[in-house]
Chains A and B, each alone.
Chain A
């Protein structure tokens, strides 16, 4: 899995685009990266998961740890681009309730 953070001008908000499998082999490294950044000053994080087609329980655990770290700063983890089995996994583990989801606006007809 690869990830690309995009920072706000103030440097304390990040949107991270993830591509690949958010799984037991990749999630721990990603968690360590984001948790380190939150400790270092990021106050808001948004995950773009549109490039993730596989999410397992280690990935869900990583999302929970990021949500817990942000909660200590009074913020909620945002995400977008959720679909397919990653969405199902988050629904089945009830973790989707912890996320603030940005859904695409419907095109006007």
Chain B
């Protein structure tokens, strides 16, 4: 049987992932229809080795989507700020102007139950828990983006105290081109 692995979303205001020194910066309007376009813009010039097909673009799009949809609630008056660094590894800080991810602890508990069901091979329970449904979830929310994100961002995924800013890093075994 595989080991039970339960990761957690972590809050750490002073984490080094929030040090934006030397990072590039862009900000965007909260336009839901342009989420993938924003991700593509940030990744212009990204080393091919970091892209892993379109996996990096997909994972970055998820963070942008969370900020625009759940953070800024698609309010066109609110901006999404992105700091990024694609030297040596892929590193991003994404900040919205919303109230923060208030259900973070509830999500951690959901994830613990989900992973436990999977580990027990209780597929009925796992299927019931496959998607997280929060107070603002709708049919466009897969309810699983953070699950993949915790695995993908292998250098860390940290929220600030207000939980409206996330810092992420992915390291690549092959390095950049």
Q: B126, B128, B142: which contacts A56 (Cβ < 8 A)?
A: B142
Stretch in contact with the other chain, from A7-15, A37-45, A90-98: A90-98
Contact indicator B127/A71 (Cβ below 8 Å): yes
Residues from chain B with Cβ under 8 Å of A49 in the complex: none
Instruction: For the complex, count residues of A whose C-beta is within 8 A of B.
Output: 32
What 0/1 pattern do residues 114 to 151 of B give for CB contact below 8 A with A?
11001000011011101100000001111111011001
Q: Is A4 an interface residue (CB 8 A)?
A: no
Residues from chain A with Cβ under 8 Å of B65 in the complex: 24
Stretch in contact with the other chain, from B20-28, B49-57, B96-104, B158-166: B49-57
Given contacts A55-B58, A84-B53, contact A94 B118 (CB under 8 A): yes
Cβ of B151 to closest chain A Cβ, rounded Å: 4
Residues from chain B with Cβ under 8 Å of A92 in the complex: 147-148, 151-152
Residues from chain B with Cβ under 8 Å of A19 in the complex: none
Q: Is B90 an interface residue (CB 8 A)?
A: no
What 0/1 pattern do residues 84 to 105 of A give for CB contact below 8 A with B?
1100110011110110000000
Q: Is B35 an interface residue (CB 8 A)?
A: yes
Residues from chain A with Cβ under 8 Å of B115 in the complex: 94
Residues from chain A with Cβ under 8 Å of B54 in the complex: 53-54, 85
Whole-angstrom distance between the alpha carbons of A72 and B54 in the complex? 34
Whole-angstrom distance between the alpha carbons of A17 and B131 in the complex? 24
Q: Is B31 an interface residue (CB 8 A)?
A: no
Residues from chain A with Cβ under 8 Å of B147 in the complex: 92-94
Contact indicator B130/A56 (Cβ below 8 Å): no
Q: Is A58 an interface residue (CB 8 A)?
A: yes
Given contacts A85-B52, A98-B130, contact A24 B144 (CB under 8 A): no
Given contacts A23-B36, A57-B142, A85-B52, contact A67 B58 (CB under 8 A): no
Q: Is A36 an interface residue (CB 8 A)?
A: no
Residues from chain A with Cβ under 8 Å of B61 in the complex: 24, 56
Cβ of A19 to closest chain B Cβ, rounded Å: 16
Q: Is A18 an interface residue (CB 8 A)?
A: no
From 32 to 53 in chain B, residues with beta carbon under 8 angstroms from any chain A beta carbon are: 33, 35-36, 52-53
Given contacts A61-B142, A88-B55, 18 further A-B contacts (CB under 8 A): A32-B139, A53-B54, A55-B58, A58-B140, A59-B142, A60-B144, A61-B141, A68-B130, A71-B124, A84-B53, A85-B55, A85-B58, A92-B152, A93-B148, A94-B114, A94-B115, A94-B147, A98-B127
Closest 8 CB pairs of A and B: A61-B142, A57-B142, A57-B145, A92-B148, A85-B53, A85-B55, A93-B144, A64-B130
